[in-house]
Amino acid sequence: MAVVTTRQLLDAGVHFGHQTRRWNPKMKRFIFTERSGIYIIDLQKSLSYIDKAYDFVRETVAHGGSVLFVGTKKQAQETIAEQATRVGQPYVNQRWLGGLLTNFQTVSKRLARMKELEELDFENTAASGFTKKEMLIKHRELTKLHKSLGGIRNLTRTPSAVWVVDMNKEHLAIDEAKKLGIPVISILDTNCDPDDSQYPIPGNDDAIRSVALLTKIIADAAAEGLQQRHSGDTEAEPMAEWERELLEAEKPAEEAAAEQTEKPADETEKPAEESVKPAQDAPEATEEAAAPAATEEAEAPAETAETK
């Protein structure tokens, strides 16, 4: 079954590009025609690229990855928050914070601060141990953190991929993703650079219905990936290169520690083995002692018979 039909794309206005004077020459291969000074996007190519992006997102989420939904323009804010929340993925629909990906350690500290403030009871100032003024300042700080970081509150590591609605507006997010080698999935309008996205979807990134439809498709792919993950049909997400290097560096230290703990155990086992050996040899000594006694008894009757 097709992810989406051409009729659905037409109804949502996905085929409308920008004015002919506002275009990127690299987009020429994605343009079908020009009408009334506006470029018309080739929806057959859009369908093909939608399938590729859908498969990539599904497999990424199925293997334990996450997709960061990014769309800070007014046409995208509501849809980004709604669809990302529906499938349990992080999102940014307000201002992009510089360093959100490249300086994630600092962002994690701000997330910890936000969760710390959430534990305060702002209704009961007396029990909090702070003055009313201090509580008011903390409440304002929490509101600000919710606005900027609320969508990524459960993000514990950099995402596996980024979904971007407007590539030109979200150029900071794309630049950070490129530095870290994070794949970018995006709506590719006629004024965008296709080289900045690994999984572009040629389409209209300005119309609300177009943004809503394409974002819903990506969210549906994430939902299908989650179903596969919970059904146990997939393996864990492959480790990043830096994670593998870190584990390989730790292996020699772990092996050395294991050898040190094994040595005393071997030494303590040796005396035990030696103590067992005499016990095993004891029956042999008893048998040897019993053997001469038996021969002496056998010889004694013979001597008695001779004397008689």
Mean pLDDT of successive 10-residue stretches along the chain, which has 308 residues: 89 95 94 94 96 96 96 95 96 93 93 90 77 89 92 93 96 96 97 96 96 97 93 54 49 59 50 46 45 42 39
Specify the pairing of strand 38-41 against strand 31-35: antiparallel
Report pLDDT for 255: 63
User: What crossing angle do the helices spanning 208-231 and 74-86 adopt, rounded to 10°?
Assistant: 20
Predicted confidence at residue 262, as pLDDT, reads 55
From CA 272, how far away is CA 221, in angstroms rounded? 62
Q: Is the pTM of this model over 0.75?
A: no
Residue 208: predicted pLDDT = 96
pLDDT at 24: 93
User: Given this model, what pLDDT does residue 104 score?
Assistant: 92
**CA dist., res. 3 & res. 54, Å (int):** 8
| C-alpha span between 61 and 64 (Å, rounded) | 5
Contact 293, 300 (CB under 8 A): no
What pLDDT sits at residue 288?
46
- Tokens 């155990």, residue? 265
What per-residue confidence (pLDDT) applies to 152? 95
